[in-house]
Structure 1
Amino acid sequence: MIVKGKRRKVAWGITGSGEKIMETVEIMEKMKKKYRKIYDIRVFISKAGDQVLKYYNLSNTLETIFDKTWTEINANAPFLAGQIQLGSYEFLLVAPATSNTVAKISLRIADTLLTNAAIMGQKTSTPIYIMPTDFREGSVITQLPNGKDLELKITHEDAEHVEKLSKMPNTFVFEHPDEIPSIFEKHSGN
């Protein structure tokens, strides 16, 4: 439901993956500017995500662009899962999501800030959008912070967790940061 004059909260979760992190931050900055009157984007960073953001020199960038950023202390601090459960957020976007995060959600292991929030969202019909870094089996080339390429091999098991996740209620899996604008558009009421 859209309330005139009141911005709706969006939770953006960042896990410990460098894969597509630069593109994701760029897209989210555009979403903040485009939808500044509609959405209040709040950033929730996992412990591993905090390390990766520092590695890619993005920590200060995020804190400059987004007014509200929190780093995980434990599965319930900050208390994102409870706020998701109470319907305080329009949707939860986890991008990028590591294979570890995807596997934990698919196996119902809620022992981190973002896995706990995602599972609570699934239980309360909050839309959950997840961009797994290990989307399909095979090789991918990722770029390191120093600009060098690194080939990664995505396992069959990682791809199976993505497939399982895509079949879960209120859960939408997508492959690339370019798909994020359509998520915001879908919820904007336009």
Structure 2
Amino acid sequence: MTEKRPKKKRVVWGITGSGDRIRETAAVMKEMRRKYDDEVEIRVYISKAGDQVVKYYKLFPELEEEFDKIWVEANANAPFLAGQVQMGRFELILIAPATSNTVAKISLRIADTMLTNAAIMSQKVMLPLYIMPSDFQEGEVVTTLPDGRDLTLVIRKEDVEHVKRLAAMEGVTMLERPEDIPKIFERHFG
């Protein structure tokens, strides 16, 4: 008689249209996939804008090679991620990096994309939601363009207000940088 392997727990990794720290985030997520491969399945869900950014940064082949399950948004309900969240198929949702647009929509309860719809549903069913916003705090930040050059951006108070509003919501944890991601996996799968 063969021994049945325990079913892997599932994690949603949502990628939006932010290129800020996308390479670093992908590197950490690959590390998490390897470290927790026996017990966790990381499913990658990419927004329409995220699809453009992932291709712009030439990360799509790398993601396809590393992760078994990758979906790209067709509309707010395709793939039907919110339905899977509602049915309890995941242990947590991680959206990293998250654009200021995604953060604002979730904070204002606008569920018009696959990832905002799933994030808002996660709050309704008390599924842990982790978000790494690209616009974490006011001031200048330096990000890296696909060609390796630096780009200085000015983060506005209006964007940070949405981060603070979302951070105050029950069941939501904001992450400042990709290096915070391993703590999530340790907490849930340690």
- The two structures have a TM-score, normalised by structure 2, of 0.97
Trace 1:40-189 onto structure 2 (pairs within 5 A). Answer: 40-188=41-189
- Asked whether 1:31 is paired with 2:38, we answer no
Alpha-carbon shift at residue 63 of structure 1 (Å)? 0.7
Q: Which whole-Å CA distance do the structure 1 matches of 2:6 and 2:86 have between them?
A: 24
Q: What residue identity is the alignment partner of 1:74?
A: N
What stretches of structure 1 of length at least 5 have no aligned partner? none
Q: What residue identity is the alignment partner of 2:151?
A: L
Q: Which whole-Å CA distance do the structure 2 matches of 1:94 and 1:163 have between them?
A: 16
Alpha-carbon shift at residue 67 of structure 1 (Å)? 0.5
Aligned twin of 1:21: 22
Q: What residue identity is the alignment partner of 2:26?
A: V
Q: Which whole-Å CA distance do the structure 2 matches of 1:122 and 1:23 have between them?
A: 27
What secondary structure is seen at the aligned counterpart in 2 of 1:31? helix
Q: Which whole-Å CA distance do the structure 1 matches of 2:98 and 2:132 have between them?
A: 6
Alpha-carbon shift at residue 143 of structure 1 (Å)? 0.6
Q: What residue identity is the alignment partner of 2:84?
A: Q
Deviations 1:95-150 (A, max 9, x none): 00000000000000000000000000000000000000000111100010111111
Q: Which whole-Å CA distance do the structure 2 matches of 1:37 and 1:119 have between them?
A: 29
Q: Which whole-Å CA distance do the structure 2 matches of 1:159 and 1:35 have between them?
A: 33
**Aligned sequence identity (%):** 60
What stretches of structure 2 of length at least 5 have no aligned partner? none
- The two structures have a TM-score, normalised by structure 1, of 0.97
Deviations 1:7-48 (A, max 9, x none): 101000000011000000000000000000110100000000
Alpha-carbon shift at residue 169 of structure 1 (Å)? 1.4
Q: Which whole-Å CA distance do the structure 1 matches of 2:152 and 2:110 have between them?
A: 29
Q: Tell me the matched-pair count.
A: 186
Q: What residue identity is the alignment partner of 1:73?
A: A
Q: Which whole-Å CA distance do the structure 2 matches of 1:71 and 1:96 have between them?
A: 16
Alpha-carbon shift at residue 157 of structure 1 (Å)? 0.3
Q: What residue identity is the alignment partner of 1:121?
A: S
Alpha-carbon shift at residue 6 of structure 1 (Å)? 1.4
Superposed CA RMSD: 0.7
Q: Which whole-Å CA distance do the structure 2 matches of 1:15 and 1:128 have between them?
A: 15
Alpha-carbon shift at residue 152 of structure 1 (Å)? 0.3
